[in-house]
Structure 1
Amino acid sequence: MPASTPPGASLRLLIVVPPLAGHLLPARTLALAWAARGHQVAWVGPESALRPVLGPDALVHPTGARLFREQAVGGAAAVRSLWDGFVVPHTRFTLGAVRRAVEQWRPDVVLVDQHSPAGALAAHGAGVRWATFAPSSLEIGDPLGGDGELTSWRDGVLHGLWERAGLPADEFTDPRFSPGLVIAPTCRELAGLDRVPAEYALVGPLLADRTELAFPWERLDPDRRRVLVSLGTLSAEVADDFLRRAAGALAELPDVQAVVAGPAVAGLPADAVAGERVPVLELLERGAVDAVLCHGGMNTVAESLVHGRPLVVAPIRHDQPVTAGRLAALGAAVHVDFATAGPEQLHAALRSVLDDPSFRTAAELLGRQLLAGGGAVAAVERLERFARAPH
């Protein structure tokens, strides 16, 4: 008889995720829900990146840390540089540590971020079942738009990782997609899928309480609408010029107050509230903002949509252009060019999502579709069934 884990027994989950906030935060939410069911969690990654997010009590199998090459901003060049400049070297750098963690901690299941293929390679080599975690829209559906040359190039990269890991060629499995379970914090509509494969669990956003941040709530004007501006942590090095252009647009919206998650750049209206760390989720939960101007990171997008807030999206790299295009097609956002959109275009885009109720209606619909996935509870229930199934 195939072995299976008895119902009620505690299960061990090893999470392999890149040291990027947009990947770590939803994985942390899933891990908290997993632990709340009486199971154990361990992580693999650089302590310097994981510890501030996970806290002092998390069990982290360290990989060490290293710098990676700067990545291109858009198009096919961005996809190539993501893999050549980060995913491939990160996989090679961490594979030994991930293999040791699998061998020493003996997990029942490994949860592998799509951009940390070392987890799939190590789990397959050890005969341990693994599930995919897909917090980015870049690998779901056909975001490359049928670009055969780019797809062929990436397939070669994936086979190269498999071969370099010393795994049998006739056992090749795309390390981005577990054949048994793919967990994605999205919905069918936002992912652009006509059909959802049986192994997919589209659970919607994985939201959890964040660290409490001091915020001057008293400075918010109750008689005006407010726009939240947030460009995420990954884009800090390229954000300043865009924020100055956004400031020019906001200065021409006297009936709107700006809340900026970032530096108070020159040109911002005097009543704008700016800070390097802003409680984005709490602002949305309190209904303190009416629209969001962002880079299109999935966490910010999902948080905005589940609170029914339309967006202006200026994507920078990776999956952000894909997400921006889908949001615009679904009527929940205006898509602008990060590099070239000037104050006038940003002003017009913000005025559209604030004044045209169809944007908010579309955002509310997408928010309901996302929430229907069940969130962290649905994710861990599906992961638990997968971990307990006979094999």
Structure 2
Amino acid sequence: MARVLYVTIPADGHVNPTLGLVKQLVDNGEEVVYMCSEEYRDRLAQTGAQFRAYQKDEQVSRDLGFNPTEFRHPFHFNDFMLRGIIEPHIPEILRQIENESFDYLIFDSLFGWGGAILGEKLGIPTICSVTNFAFAEPLSQIVEVLEASDDVDVDALYERVTQTAQSIARVCNVAVPAIEDITRQYGDMKIVFTSREFQPDADKLDDSYIFTGPSITSRPDSPPFPFEKLRASYDKVVYISMGSILTKDVELYKLCFAAFQDIPAQFVLSCGRETELESLGENIPPNFIIEPYVPQLEVLQQADAFITHAGMNSTSEALYFYVPLVMIPLSSDQPIVAKRVEELGAGIMLDRGKLTPTALKDALLQVLNESTYKQHAIQVGDSFRNAGGYQEAARCIMSLYSVPN
């Protein structure tokens, strides 16, 4: 069987979808070396892969000078990928695997040009792991720009991006790509963790894009949760989570308290490990269960609606379990995901900047009480299930790249 190198960025939304695929490859006899940051060691080791850590430098992210989820110009995304992902990690990964051989490489799409560098230096086929939407255009051209760019020194930004790319090319002894190619989804094959039906503009993507649906697997590190309370007092369950990165919006949580305190439903709020419960105040309604971290897959299986930031991972998991959504996109690709859900009739998108308790309450009641939202969520969920999941992803990969015994 084949020896595989799998490289991913250190983020739950990019690691979690790969767990089922990696375990399936290992179960099928592939030897997988999985590289990510140290915090994911235990989670990834449970797949049977050989885990290796690369250094995650928090100072690098701080030195970028902007939050990578808030872009004021498209070149900011190129800058983030170059200085936040490719420059610190690709040379280190190459050093760690020096004198080793692999049969094929799987890399996260946010490595972009970095994945192409690894494939070129190793001389092996490459597969792009796409945990967000695939795209026919350079990602930096379609990522949501949240603020006006009048105060951005575009010339200086372009110069920094160019110089960083040239520096990486010198270190790795490769050619410098065009600026727009830094964010390309490279790879002989792209495994896209959604369905062709959910993917916007799927007809613009060639046959190298393989849609396998979201990879839904149990998580051994899920915390305990009082499931017996979910329907003890109410018939409806509403889950609220703003993801693993954007969880500290205390004012949004208080707005939820004001909007939902009189709705006869059990609300479950995952507020994040870094949110101090004391900061939520003393007026938490009695119909709320609040935990820093919630076993999301299990709660979604019992939820009637999901209030979410519309991150790709959370959205996919909800729709997989036929849960309609109220979406408050905050950054990055979330507006694109929310727009697609709304287009397909499986949820309602709200503007965080104009959000009021009344607007939030009205949207939730609409999703709960109008059956079309549930029906459309079922249609999207069925498209996910019919795509084949991580088993189909493993089959496609091994049919082309695995080495016979």
Question: What's the TM-score bracket when you normalise by the shorter of the two chains?
Answer: 0.7 to 0.9
Residue 32 of structure 1: which of 23, 35, 38 is its match? 23
Q: Say if 2:339 and 2:349, in contact at 8 Å, map to a contact too.
A: yes
Partner residue of 2:44?
54
User: For structure 2, which runs of at least 5 residues remain unmatched after alignment?
Assistant: none
In the TM superposition, what are the counterparts of 1:1-391 in structure 2 within 5 Å? Answer: 10-47=1-38, 49-55=39-45, 58-67=49-58, 68-69=61-62, 70-71=66-67, 77=72, 80-85=75-80, 87-117=82-112, 118-137=114-133, 140-141=135-136, 144=141, 163-164=169-170, 165-168=172-175, 176-195=184-203, 196-211=205-220, 212-222=222-232, 223-237=234-248, 239-253=249-263, 255-262=264-271, 265-266=280-281, 267-285=283-301, 288-388=302-402
What letter corresponds to residue 132 of structure 1 in structure 2?
C
Counterpart-to-counterpart distance in 1, 2:42 and 2:74:
28
Identity %: 22
Counterpart-to-counterpart distance in 2, 1:96 and 1:159:
13
Distance 1:387 1:375, change over 3 A: same
Distance 1:145 1:319, change over 3 A: closer
What letter corresponds to residue 34 of structure 1 in structure 2?
L
User: For structure 1, which runs of at least 5 residues remain unmatched after alignment?
Assistant: 1-9
Deviation at 1:113, TM superposition (A): 0.5
Counterpart-to-counterpart distance in 2, 1:162 and 1:370:
38
What letter corresponds to residue 135 of structure 1 in structure 2?
T
Partner residue of 1:7?
none
Counterpart-to-counterpart distance in 2, 1:382 and 1:315:
33
Distance 1:98 1:252, change over 3 A: same
TM-score (norm 1): 0.85
Distance 1:321 1:80, change over 3 A: farther
Counterpart-to-counterpart distance in 2, 1:232 and 1:128:
35
Deviation at 1:33, TM superposition (A): 1.2
1:278-337 CA-partner distances (Å, limit 9, x unpaired): 11101223xx21000011111211111111110011112111111011111111111012
Q: Say if 2:116 and 2:187, in contact at 8 Å, map to a contact too.
A: no
Deviation at 1:166, TM superposition (A): 2.8
Over aligned residue pairs, what C-alpha RMSD do you find? 3.0
Distance 1:126 1:38, change over 3 A: closer
Distance 1:204 1:100, change over 3 A: same
Q: Say if 1:98 and 1:119, in contact at 8 Å, map to a contact too.
A: no
TM-score (norm 2): 0.82
Counterpart-to-counterpart distance in 2, 1:283 and 1:206:
17
Partner residue of 1:4?
none
Q: Say if 1:79 and 1:318, in contact at 8 Å, map to a contact too.
A: no
What letter corresponds to residue 278 of structure 1 in structure 2?
V
Q: Say if 1:325 and 1:335, in contact at 8 Å, map to a contact too.
A: yes
Counterpart-to-counterpart distance in 1, 2:75 and 2:182:
17
- Residue 189 of structure 1: SS of its match in structure 2? coil
Q: Say if 2:78 and 2:182, in contact at 8 Å, map to a contact too.
A: no
Counterpart-to-counterpart distance in 2, 1:302 and 1:276:
21
What letter corresponds to residue 297 of structure 2 in structure 1?
L
